[in-house]
Structure 1
Amino acid sequence: MQLGVGVYVLALSEVTAEMSDLVGGKAAGLGALIRHGERVPEGFCVTTEAHRNGVVPVAEIIAAYERLGAGPVAVRSSATAEDLPDASFAGQQDTVLGVTGAAELVAAVEKCWDSLHSDRATAYREAHEIDQHELAMAVVVQRMVTPTVAGVLYTANPLTGRRDEMVVDAAPGLGTTVVDGGTAVDHYVLDGVARDDTGCLTSAQLERLRAAGERLAGHFGCPQDVEWAIDADDVLWLLQSRPITSLFPLPPATGKPLPRVFLEFGHVQGMLRPVTPMGMATLRAQITATLAALGVRVEIVDIGGRLYGDLTDLARSRSSRRRLVKLMAVDFGPRAQAVMRHVLADPRFAPTSGGRGTAQRAASLRTAGRAAVGIGRALARPDTARIRLFEAIDQLRARSVAPDDLRTTAERLRFVEARDDTDHSDAIMWPIVAGMLATALPSPLLKGIAGPDEIHAVLGGMPHNVTIEMDLALWRLAQGVGEHRRLLLDTPPDELAARHLRGALPDIGMADFLDAYGHRGAAEVDLGVPRWAEDPTPVFAALANYLRVTDPEQGPDQRFRRAAATAETALRDLVARARRQRPVRGRIAGFLLGRARSLAGLREAGKFAGLYPLRETRRQLLLIGADLTDAGLLDQRDDIMFLTLDEVCVAVHQGVDQRDVVASRRSAHRRELRRRSVPVALLSDGTDVETVLARVPGGDGTLVGVGASAGRVTGPARVVHDPATAHVEPGDVLVTATTDPGWTPLFLTAAALVSETGAIMAHGPTVAREYGIPAVICVPDATRTITTGQLVTVDGGAGAVTVH
């Protein structure tokens, strides 16, 4: 048969994987099952050519139906955007079962066609950013199986992510009762443990399903979601097999003893989005170097485009496991602490007899010595430490600029290859660590004297924070726009950005702002992400939000001053009370809190400094990318960010076309960008550790998190996924998955912050405290549970969010 235009009906046995544009995702999957020798009900496909033709090919359908022997059939939608690697379309388009007769069959085909543009299917495609214009619908018609029992088989546990468990949901009769959720089902977890014949499936049937699952996962190379049915003759029929789209990718094999535990590091930087391949290499080197400077050896791996650290050796070490949970309090936060407590209680991670080698002990002692000197100096003379830190940052900025004599692609590449973007000078590192310690240590010292909310109040309005200074600089710019106010409020931010880059925007001071802060941006630690200087759209969006603040008392400068004054008063009162009740502890805590106010604001400075060399490396890479585009080896200059440095070398020196590599990685990156939930910790078998922890119950309408900035506010929720397009009204409660410094301009307008991740001393809560707005972090699924416009109360002291 000649395939292509005019092919309206095709037997399923003739369908191949290459025909997905002609037969849709479901039919392509069924054709693959048949070709692998699986038992699939006989049938045919009404192709997308018929749908595009707009007229049901009645004669061809009836002829194919009669070849099946007529009788009852199942009619299922099979759209071209269906059963994709990241979108199953489960239940989004129509299925009609038990269809009998030609007229009823034609009507069922039309019903499936119409469901392509149903409200639910359209909304689903929009949520998955799938192009609506090139869609077409094929329809699968199969001989109806009359099952005694039917259901769904998952070849990996879809709840926990474990790849060594299969899950079966089954019920007597048609499988629609299982997939539609319309009845109680029998639930089985196939984990290799023998079981009694209870429920609607026998142990022999479960074993056949397990064997089929192993075959299918092997055939398709990934975990599968399988619909199946068993008829009265105990014959197992496979009705569909598609990827389990919700699973987070499996950790890479390390060749080391199993199991292993991996902790997600990206949320420390307020970033859950996937990192570009070029950015991944840089970040891995930076994190490894930072940890090594602190005397910690951790292997950083790429899982789903995110940065995970293999903490297995630390968890199994007798010396380090005792401190592991406490060390996570500052940067990783309560969620990471909870999963690590669970891991340390797991017998599989029991401490081993092996210890650190002589070289490692010596390195740790050297690090400890440098740390003691650096931290001690900073605590003794904080003003001097600050001066030296900012001098070191200025020197790093000057050193970051590339030489003027770089002319050729090869010269630029040599410059990039020779760079070391992992500068961690003592002048920058130890004052920051000293400030973090001065912030963390008073809490245990003041136990029974002061609560967390009182200590948080002391940490408000913290000076010397480069991110706060950046936000206030933008506020001052907003205050001076004068006659251009309506232009900035009424023009879309992306259009304002384009005008600015063309030099067609009135001078409002944006050029000076970007000269100082244009190397920043959301997800700024990723080398592959544009800086504000390249695309100032987020800055103009934040500027418009600032212009909506009309009450001078709600201006961020006033809020910051009030927070600072409140903090100083709280510090005096707290220290006086503590010294009365516990004189020695009170003196120590008072000293540390005073030093925290001098040094803790420096926390952002290290990252701020590290962005200078990143900016120059990115600039040189984009110039190389432009040359490779001119040579026909890339489609556009920023494609270079989806290559590794070795692949760039091959393209530059050997002329290798990298466009197919880039296209594949961009597609995977787009899929991961749509993922809204990233596991805090994974085991080597794919287990999302948080899924096996006991949930902390909340009251009616109350979401439980961790209080990170004291105060209580009620206001309308504003769920934001992208700061570049966020419209935040004064008084809105900002609800996000995570935040990094690129998000903090939004805090100047928001009344409170709610986030799904974070740590007490992370970027978002730190800035929230300094503006005096309540913050609750680590609220599971906040961006899905809360919707924009809902009235919510944020209680930063209690760590609770109430949805009214």
Structure 2
Amino acid sequence: MEKYLLHFNDIRKQDVAIAGGKGANLGEMVCAGFLVPPGAVVTADAYRQFMEENGISISEIMDNAESTENAAAYIRKAIVSGEIPANIKEQIIGFYLTLGTNARVAVRSSATAEDLDDASFAGQQETYLNVIGEEALLQKVKECYASLWSSRAISYRKAQGYDKQKVALAVVLQQMIESESAGVLFTQNPAGNSDDILINASYGLGEAIVSGIVSPDEYICARDGKIKKSVIGSKEIQIVYDGQGTKKESVSAEKRKQQVLDNELIRHLVTETLKIDVHYNCSMDIEWAVKDGKIYILQARSITTIGDEPQKHFSDTDFAGLPVIKPAKGRMRENVLFNLEKLPKPYFPLDHDFGDAVGKQKEVLITEVGFSMNAMCPIDDYGVSSFNMGGMKPNRNIIHLPGILKQMKNEEYNTKKSSESLRSCMERFEQEKALACVSIQELGESLRRMQVLIGDTAYGRFRYAVFPQVLENFSLGRTLKKVNATLNSYDLMEGLDYVTADVNRAMADIARRIKGNPDELKAVMSLTFSEIVQKYPDLSEAFDGFMEKYGNRSDFNCYCFIAKTWNDDPDRLLGTLRTMLRSKDAKILSKQESDAKFEALMTRVKDTIGEKTYVKFAAKVEAVRHYHIIREATQYLWESEFAYCRTLLRSCAAGLDVSYDNLLYLFAGELFEACRKGQLDDGMQTLIAKRKAKRALAEAYWNKCMEESLATGNSGIIGVSGSSGMATGKVCIVKSPAEFDKLQPGEILVCTYTDPEWTPLFMLAAGVVVDTGGTLSHAAIVAREYKVPAVLATGDATKKLKDGDFVVVDGTNGIVITVPVT
């Protein structure tokens, strides 16, 4: 007879597909010797067998339903009224009877896409506590199955990119512990010093904390268990048993004032949970309970994000042995700041090897034309990156320089080659995705091929589009100045269909639709993405179409593994959309308006320079417009390539039984070798630990490099002209997309960097000031498009200015002047 129920000691962490995330982690901890209440898992195969024998076809129901909400309701009803197959029922009841007469059990959903390192699906399916009796137990198993198809759970999975027809559900059956106290512990404080332990504790069952209905005690502890800070919560109620299920019960005034856990028990709790941290080799989110002085582990999952840890203080002694930082001046300073637009933080080792597959192609091209240059941002074996301020020197390829420059001015050749290169890379990418790698060895080889493909995508972009475009821009710019001194070559991009313009137009269409519906407007400005798509099916459909085309737009487009796309984090898309909705004048022309603007400009040029000269000018314009399309298409292609690499790495992490975050500390060659072996040996584990310990130093040194190499030596704010004109206004410093809502119409946007996600902010800003970038950077291009004065490459404007300062942005001369407020 097929086994549809597995005891915890028969399950390991890698058995997510069988036991779900929760069940796999519980089995892992039991096998590692941690004190976990007795339990078992009704496997995902049991769910599939139940659905098959009851004739419930998810795809058929979804395809025929009028809406997702209607489909979800129909599926839930069919499941709850269904019959659990006899062989599965027999195994469930057989296990239940081993726990004793009328045993109290918790019945917990454990989805096969749950408690993974890249996403926490907590709260998306149901948990039932204090279930007693065979019939009640079987009913709660079915109700767990049904909860997989709540509207909320479907919307969440859709937002996270998990296929609604492939997800399955296991169910954890676990003997209840009538705890005196319970809570949650983080082995890395997510809101403070990463070396600290954070504990929340309350009386009764832990559900009171998990559901957020009490204000628990909060203890911040050192890793030896010593309390550094204690906040006594109000703890007005506790959750306790109530026959079948649970009930809320008042806590006495005396107990509310007391510390739930004494100091000795806190030390014991820290000691035990840190063993779990060591076992998993990553920071953990742990649910625990205390009964008769014993600590039971109820659940554990990895903390799902790499937080922005507070900066520790480092002295020059800590930086000893690292490259000496020299000031960058003149053209070198501009080059450094242009490159830093893509590197607001130092690389992790794996990000370096994959992200630098893009930047490295510039070095390859420079070498081909006859100059040798050192890596812009070298990284040492500890994972510490630095700036390289060295220049270039000729090599023996210099004899090819005239021929290559001539080739880069051959519009017909470059147009053809850039299109061929893009098409080839897109075809290879589709072929790679179609392979559906399964084994850890196959995953490693796929990542190796993806690294090569990313480099090839970048080479074709730079060699046949970007570099030729830069060369042509000079001559086109000179001609345009004869028409109007404010014009530049980017005015020639009007009317084009390229990714960023298409994204902006598509988003503007959604914004116009939302502005015409007051209810939708209110929802979009206040609710989460998952809440919006659940409440407004028609708007959800519009978002689906947008995400299908543009959902791989990323925050750091030259970072591979720590970047997130709109598909990964759709609430970030809302931040961008809300900025557009707050703008009275969207400033985004329709395709027809943009076409007309381009034709009008070309007519003005023709009238100014004459028919004969215009023919050559128009041919160059056609080529440059093609180059720009290629430039944008390859940008979005490697963002999509990077997104797929993250999918592969998540599978690698599961196969290697290690957290996703820890793999970031390996260089590409080391990762490929681990995949080849099918395991992380002791040497690689040591490397990860060594580099992880150096990460805070790496970030501090990177900041020191930025500050000291780019210091101007004066108190003024001096940069380069990104977009001409002058603007006066109040400063608003925006540090990340999470702060987009800060910027108000008419304020001066001041930030460290921008990328395409920031584009709608230029609709609100009167002027723009950026620490990084340059005349060809994203901020400059968008500022010129929207006629917003901009000063870029200031180096430290975000440090010299503060919210509320009044400044004059002189985009023509590249300076920012602070205006005293009287």
One-letter amino acid matched to 1:479: R
Q: How does 1:38-437 map to 2 (within 5 A)?
A: 129=310, 217=317, 222-223=319-320, 250=323, 264=336, 267=339, 270-293=342-365, 295=368, 297-300=372-375, 301-302=378-379, 312=390, 314=392, 317=393, 320=394, 356-357=395-396, 360-361=397-398, 365=400, 369=403, 372-373=406-407, 375-378=409-412, 391-392=423-424, 394-404=426-436, 406-419=437-450, 420=452, 421-424=454-457, 426=460, 429-437=463-471
Please tell me whether the aligned partners of residues 402 and 616 of structure 1 are also in contact (alpha carbons under 8 angstroms): no
One-letter amino acid matched to 2:678: H
One-letter amino acid matched to 1:250: P
Would the alpha carbon gap of residues 626 and 52 (structure 1) be closer, same or farther in structure 2, given more than 3 Å must change?
closer
Distance, in Å, in 2 between the alignment partners of 1:562 and 1:791 is: 35
Distance, in Å, in 1 between the alignment partners of 2:590 and 2:728 is: 18
Q: Tell me the residue number matched to 2:666.
A: 643
Please tell me whether the aligned partners of residues 490 and 781 of structure 2 are also in contact (alpha carbons under 8 angstroms): no
Q: Tell me the residue number matched to 2:749.
A: 734
Distance, in Å, in 1 between the alignment partners of 2:590 and 2:729 is: 18
Q: Tell me the residue number matched to 1:756.
A: 771
Q: Tell me the residue number matched to 2:487.
A: 454
Structure 2: gaps spanning 5 or more residues: 1-194, 197-224, 232-306, 326-331
Q: Tell me the residue number matched to 1:607.
A: 635
Q: Tell me the residue number matched to 2:569.
A: 535
**Which one of 504, 507, 518 corresponds to residue 540 of structure 2?**
507
Would the alpha carbon gap of residues 622 and 51 (structure 1) be closer, same or farther in structure 2, given more than 3 Å must change?
closer
Superposed CA offset, 1:68-104 (max 9, x none)? xxxxxxxxxxxxxxxxxxxxxxxxxxxxxxxxxxxxx
**SS of aligned partner of 1:779:** coil
**Which one of 458, 463, 485 corresponds to residue 521 of structure 2?**
485
Distance, in Å, in 2 between the alignment partners of 1:799 and 1:567 is: 28
Residue 787 of structure 1: how far off its partner (Å)? 2.0
Residue 222 of structure 1: how far off its partner (Å)? 4.2
Would the alpha carbon gap of residues 666 and 441 (structure 1) be closer, same or farther in structure 2, given more than 3 Å must change?
farther
Would the alpha carbon gap of residues 608 and 597 (structure 1) be closer, same or farther in structure 2, given more than 3 Å must change?
same
Distance, in Å, in 2 between the alignment partners of 1:579 and 1:507 is: 52
Moved more, 771-780 or 276-285: 771-780
Distance, in Å, in 1 between the alignment partners of 2:630 and 2:230 is: 65
Q: Tell me the residue number matched to 1:71.
A: none
Would the alpha carbon gap of residues 568 and 752 (structure 1) be closer, same or farther in structure 2, given more than 3 Å must change?
farther
One-letter amino acid matched to 1:644: F
Distance, in Å, in 2 between the alignment partners of 1:543 and 1:262 is: 32
**SS of aligned partner of 2:565:** coil
Distance, in Å, in 1 between the alignment partners of 2:764 and 2:441 is: 47
Superposed CA offset, 1:688-747 (max 9, x none)? 5544x675x86xxxx433222233333332211112332133333221112222332433
Distance, in Å, in 1 between the alignment partners of 2:389 and 2:310 is: 35
Please tell me whether the aligned partners of residues 283 and 526 of structure 1 are also in contact (alpha carbons under 8 angstroms): yes
One-letter amino acid matched to 2:448: E
Q: Tell me the residue number matched to 1:145.
A: none
**1:623 and 2:651 matched:** yes
Please tell me whether the aligned partners of residues 735 and 783 of structure 1 are also in contact (alpha carbons under 8 angstroms): yes
Q: How does 1:703-718 map to 2 (within 5 A)?
A: 703-718=717-732
Residue 472 of structure 1: how far off its partner (Å)? 2.4
Please tell me whether the aligned partners of residues 488 and 544 of structure 1 are also in contact (alpha carbons under 8 angstroms): yes
Distance, in Å, in 1 between the alignment partners of 2:361 and 2:700 is: 30
Distance, in Å, in 2 between the alignment partners of 1:488 and 1:675 is: 40
Counting matched residue pairs gives 499
Please tell me whether the aligned partners of residues 265 and 309 of structure 1 are also in contact (alpha carbons under 8 angstroms): no
**SS of aligned partner of 2:379:** strand
Please tell me whether the aligned partners of residues 276 and 305 of structure 1 are also in contact (alpha carbons under 8 angstroms): yes
Q: Tell me the residue number matched to 1:170.
A: none
Distance, in Å, in 2 between the alignment partners of 1:531 and 1:595 is: 31
Superposed CA offset, 1:452-479 (max 9, x none)? 6333684574734322222222222222
Q: How does 1:625-774 map to 2 (within 5 A)?
A: 625-628=653-656, 631=657, 634=658, 636-648=659-671, 649-650=673-674, 653-656=678-681, 661-662=687-688, 665-666=691-692, 668-669=694-695, 677=703, 679=705, 688-691=708-711, 703-727=717-741, 728-774=743-789
TM-score between both structures, scaled by the size of structure 2: 0.51
Distance, in Å, in 2 between the alignment partners of 1:647 and 1:503 is: 47
Please tell me whether the aligned partners of residues 477 and 508 of structure 1 are also in contact (alpha carbons under 8 angstroms): no
Distance, in Å, in 1 between the alignment partners of 2:796 and 2:772 is: 10
Q: Tell me the residue number matched to 1:517.
A: 550
**SS of aligned partner of 1:731:** coil
Residue 613 of structure 1: how far off its partner (Å)? 2.5
Distance, in Å, in 1 between the alignment partners of 2:469 and 2:609 is: 21
**Which one of 810, 814, 820 corresponds to residue 795 of structure 1?**
810
One-letter amino acid matched to 1:725: E
Please tell me whether the aligned partners of residues 756 and 781 of structure 1 are also in contact (alpha carbons under 8 angstroms): yes
Please tell me whether the aligned partners of residues 723 and 787 of structure 2 are also in contact (alpha carbons under 8 angstroms): yes
Residue 761 of structure 1: how far off its partner (Å)? 1.4
Distance, in Å, in 1 between the alignment partners of 2:462 and 2:228 is: 64
Distance, in Å, in 2 between the alignment partners of 1:798 and 1:566 is: 27
**SS of aligned partner of 1:753:** strand
One-letter amino acid matched to 1:509: A
Superposed CA offset, 1:307-344 (max 9, x none)? 76757462xx3xx5xxxxxxxxxxxxxxxxxxxxxxxx
Please tell me whether the aligned partners of residues 261 and 312 of structure 1 are also in contact (alpha carbons under 8 angstroms): no
Would the alpha carbon gap of residues 501 and 613 (structure 1) be closer, same or farther in structure 2, given more than 3 Å must change?
farther
Distance, in Å, in 2 between the alignment partners of 1:452 and 1:438 is: 18
Please tell me whether the aligned partners of residues 461 and 561 of structure 1 are also in contact (alpha carbons under 8 angstroms): no
**SS of aligned partner of 1:423:** helix
Residue 785 of structure 1: how far off its partner (Å)? 2.2
Q: Tell me the residue number matched to 1:347.
A: none
Residue 795 of structure 1: how far off its partner (Å)? 3.4
Q: How does 1:557-596 map to 2 (within 5 A)?
A: 557-558=588-589, 569=600, 572-573=603-604, 576-577=607-608, 592=620, 596=624
Please tell me whether the aligned partners of residues 428 and 606 of structure 1 are also in contact (alpha carbons under 8 angstroms): no
Would the alpha carbon gap of residues 743 and 270 (structure 1) be closer, same or farther in structure 2, given more than 3 Å must change?
farther
Residue 576 of structure 1: how far off its partner (Å)? 4.9
Residue 407 of structure 1: how far off its partner (Å)? 1.6
Q: Tell me the residue number matched to 2:160.
A: none
Would the alpha carbon gap of residues 769 and 265 (structure 1) be closer, same or farther in structure 2, given more than 3 Å must change?
closer
Residue 766 of structure 1: how far off its partner (Å)? 1.0
Residue 526 of structure 1: how far off its partner (Å)? 0.9
Distance, in Å, in 2 between the alignment partners of 1:457 and 1:262 is: 20
Distance, in Å, in 1 between the alignment partners of 2:638 and 2:817 is: 39
Would the alpha carbon gap of residues 792 and 533 (structure 1) be closer, same or farther in structure 2, given more than 3 Å must change?
same
**Which one of 451, 463, 473 corresponds to residue 506 of structure 2?**
473
Would the alpha carbon gap of residues 416 and 390 (structure 1) be closer, same or farther in structure 2, given more than 3 Å must change?
closer
**SS of aligned partner of 1:401:** helix
Please tell me whether the aligned partners of residues 419 and 630 of structure 2 are also in contact (alpha carbons under 8 angstroms): no
Residue 765 of structure 1: how far off its partner (Å)? 0.9
Would the alpha carbon gap of residues 590 and 518 (structure 1) be closer, same or farther in structure 2, given more than 3 Å must change?
closer
Distance, in Å, in 1 between the alignment partners of 2:354 and 2:667 is: 10
One-letter amino acid matched to 1:521: S
Residue 413 of structure 1: how far off its partner (Å)? 1.4
One-letter amino acid matched to 1:708: G
One-letter amino acid matched to 1:710: S
Q: Percent of aligned pairs with the same residue?
A: 18
One-letter amino acid matched to 1:129: P
Would the alpha carbon gap of residues 713 and 395 (structure 1) be closer, same or farther in structure 2, given more than 3 Å must change?
farther
Please tell me whether the aligned partners of residues 494 and 598 of structure 2 are also in contact (alpha carbons under 8 angstroms): yes
Please tell me whether the aligned partners of residues 483 and 605 of structure 2 are also in contact (alpha carbons under 8 angstroms): yes
